[in-house]
Structure formats: structure tokens, C-alpha cells
Amino acid sequence: MKRSVEWWDEWFLGMAAYVATASKDPSTHVGCVLARPDKSIASVGFNGFPKGVEDRPEWLNNREEKLKRMVHGELNAILNAHEPVDGYTLYNWPGRSCSRCAVHVIQAGVVRVVSAYDANSPFEQRWKEDMDLGEELFRSADVEVVNFECITDPHALRTHKMIDGAGNEAEVLTLM
Ligand SMILES: [Zn+2]
């Protein structure tokens, strides 16, 4: 049986949620996956400071200082691809793209953007106006927009302990 588009969208969004766990941003962990038309993965990206720039707590914990230094997950995914991304699909967790990312994603040639969407999340509420503009930009450039309604509470990623074969304890993240 052929898997549906929705099945693949949900699977890739789950992957984007896992990618997000690598972010050191104390407020929002963003994860992105860039998928080729054949469903193989070109790259992943999460939000973080540029390579070589120190993750100083005083910058990470000061919104103004943080925003000046942060590379968003979408742009990191594009830069990490090391190949043209024309015709690819971008998966976004835990919310829609901001307007700056939208212009880069459009310009890179991405044709479809699938985002987790949770109207009640603090992330969506903080960025709503700018995300609305991002969405408007995508639509005006004929990029297909899919907002996948789901709960993006960070606790939806549950951490539990696992003991590996050598008896070592490891933290494991599980998607609900
Ligand atoms: Zn952005």
C-alpha cells in the first residue's frame, strides 16, 4: 500500500521535532528537515549561533543579544544541504517560518513548506505577526503551505531513561 502524503508529512515533522532537541536556545528549540522529492533527506538544521561563535549564557539568555546572533533552523537547513534545493520540501517544528526565513526559503527554490501549527503555543503567539507575513510571502510566491495542527508543548517530547547493553543509562526522547 502506498503511504499517503499526510503519513510522510507527519513522519518528517516528527523528525524535525527530534532535530529541534539539539538546539541550545533556552526558549525555543526549532528543528527543520529538507526533503527531496523522492523522500530522501538532503539536510537538517536547528536554531543556533554560527559555527565558532561561543554559546555564552549571557547572550543565550538575553533576547536582544540572542536574536542578533541566531541562525534560524530553516536557513541552517538550506546552508547544510550543500546542494541546490529547488523543488524540495521543508519541514518545520514547532511552528511556522518567520518572514526572514520565508524569503530565504523562497529564494532557495523550496516549493512546499510543512509546519507544525499550534495556535496556543507561546512560540506562535510571540511571532504570530511575523509568521503571518512569512506565510503570506510563501503563498504569493506559489510555495505550497501546509500547517499541520498538532500540540507542540515541549512536554510532548517525553524524556525517559534507557539502560543500554553495557549498563549505561541514557536519556531518550520519545515523541508522543
Ligand atoms: Zn526564521
25 Cα to the center of ligand 1, angstroms? 13
Q: pLDDT at position 27, please?
A: 85
* Biggest alpha carbon–alpha carbon distance for the chain: 55
CB atoms within 10 A of CB 158: 11
76 Cα to the center of ligand 1, angstroms? 10
101 Cα to the center of ligand 1, angstroms? 4
Grid cell 510532548 is found at 156
Active-site choice (10, 54, 65, 74): 74
- Number of structural domains in the chain: 1
Q: pLDDT at position 149, please?
A: 87
16 Cα to the center of ligand 1, angstroms? 15
Q: pLDDT at position 120, please?
A: 87
Q: Is 136 a catalytic residue?
A: no
Domain that holds residue 113: 5-175
Q: pLDDT at position 122, please?
A: 87
Sequential pLDDT tens for the chain (176 residues): 888 898 899 899 989 999 998 999 988 899 999 999 999 999 999 999 999 999 999 999 999 999 999 999 999 999 999 999 999 999 999 999 999 999 999 999 999 999 999 888 888 999 999 999 999 999 999 999 999 888 776 555 555 555 656 666 665 555 54
Which CATH number covers residue 156?
3.40.140.10
**Residue 49: phi, psi to the nearest 5?**
-70, 160
Q: pLDDT at position 1, please?
A: 83
Burial class of residue 175, CB neighbours in 10 A (0-12, 13-18, 19+): exposed
Q: pLDDT at position 154, please?
A: 56
